[in-house]
Every structure is written in structure tokens, then in C-alpha cells.
Amino acid sequence: MRPINEPATEAQKNLLNQLGISFPVDLTKEQGIKLIGSQYKANGYQKNILKFFKVAFDKNINQTQAQDLIDKLLSIEDNKKKWKTKQDAEKVRENLVILKFFNVEIPKNITLKMSKDMIDELFEDEEKEKLWDKHLDIIAAEEDRIEERKENIRELLNDFNSVKKYYNCDKIPNKLFVQFVEELESQGHTLEQFSNLDNRDHYFDLLLVKYPELRK
């Protein structure tokens, strides 16, 4: 239940002040949520709900606009049940990942409650819970590594495109550049070598030999 008449918190007022948004003295928590939400784009969770119900929305829709649409959708009991069914199904899939990790035999037509009970029983063994936590840490570390690599390649592409005129080169598309980098990495090159300014001429030559269509 979202707050209606509760007074706005000091944290909300401070954030509104930081955003340069004026507000009445008797601002409520609900009003604060709407004012703050109007300054930020809708989050992934909100967009997922709208997509699930096939609601068209602008790519720049803000959190307040999205939440108003969601509140209207979920005020219909049938829609609320459909969304809960979807969420439950997703939770079951998440629980199945845990059970399969430990090679647990999974019964047919497993329900959310059954999967929860099986996991609770499984994690009565603290060592198994620690093992799962370690597995999650490894996954998170790998996701961080992949994201850091993507960011490094984006920065490298920006550097290359910033001097493309010097090399009589058209703007380099992201997909093409990633393919170029990955191919050279498979041959033993590294991102550090790509980033070294002393190697810039060499890599631009290789790029234009492989993709002559980039030449102006």
C-alpha cells in the first residue's frame, strides 16, 4: 500500500531541494514520491510490467508516469492475478536453478511453495548455503568483469572515433569494432595494446585493411 496522507520525509525534501523542485509546506509522502519520480526514467521493473500487459509507452517515460499506468492496470483484479502468476513462475524458475545446482531431483508440476520448502530443507546444511553464496559471488564477479570489459571497449572505440578524420576513416560502428577487437584478441593482442597510443597507427592500419569500406 502506497502512503497517501503521511507527511513527506526529510530525505524526500532534501532530494527535492537538490533537484531544484519547489514543493508545498504540507507535502505528503505520496506527493514527494510523484515529484521525485517525475525526474527519473522508468526503471526496468516498471517497464517489464507495462510490456507484459502490452502497454505502449514512450522510451523517455518517467517513473511517475509509469507507476500511474501500473496502478491503473493492477487495480483490475484479473490483471493483478496474471501478474502474480507470472512473478510466481519466475520465482519457481529461480528456485529450480538452485535445486539443479545441487542435483536435487525435481518433482513434476513443482509449485512455488514446494520449491521454497525444498530449498529451506537444503539450506539446513549451512555448508550448502555457503557453497551457493560462493557460487553467486563468482557469478557477480564475472558479470562485473564483463561489464568492465564492455566499458573499456566503448572508451577505446570513442578514442578511435575521435581521431578518425586523421586516418581518413568513417565513423566506426560499435558492432564492427567489437568484432575487430575480439578477432585480434584471439590472436594474442590485448586491450592494453589497443589503448597504447604508440600502437594507434598499427591498429588503424589493421582496421582499414580488414574493413576497407570504412575508408573515406
pLDDT digits (tens, 9 = 90+) for 45-93: 999 999 999 999 999 999 999 999 999 999 999 999 999 999 999 999 9
Under 8 Å CB-to-CB from 86, ≥6 apart: which residues? 52
Q: How far apart are CA 98 and CA 116, in angstroms?
A: 10
Q: What is the pTM of this model?
A: 0.69
Grid cell listed for 152: 573499456
Band (pLDDT 50/70/90 cuts) for residue 3 is low
Report the chain's mean pLDDT, rounded to a whole number. 94
Query: Would the pLDDT of 120 be above 80?
Result: yes
Percent of the chain with pLDDT over 70: 98
pLDDT in the model for residue 4: 62
What percent of the chain is modeled with pLDDT above 90? Answer: 96
Residue 124 has pLDDT above 60, yes or no: yes
Q: Grid cell 512455488 — which residue?
A: 112
Residues 162, 110: Cα–Cα separation, whole Å:
55
E-strand ranges in 112-207 read: none
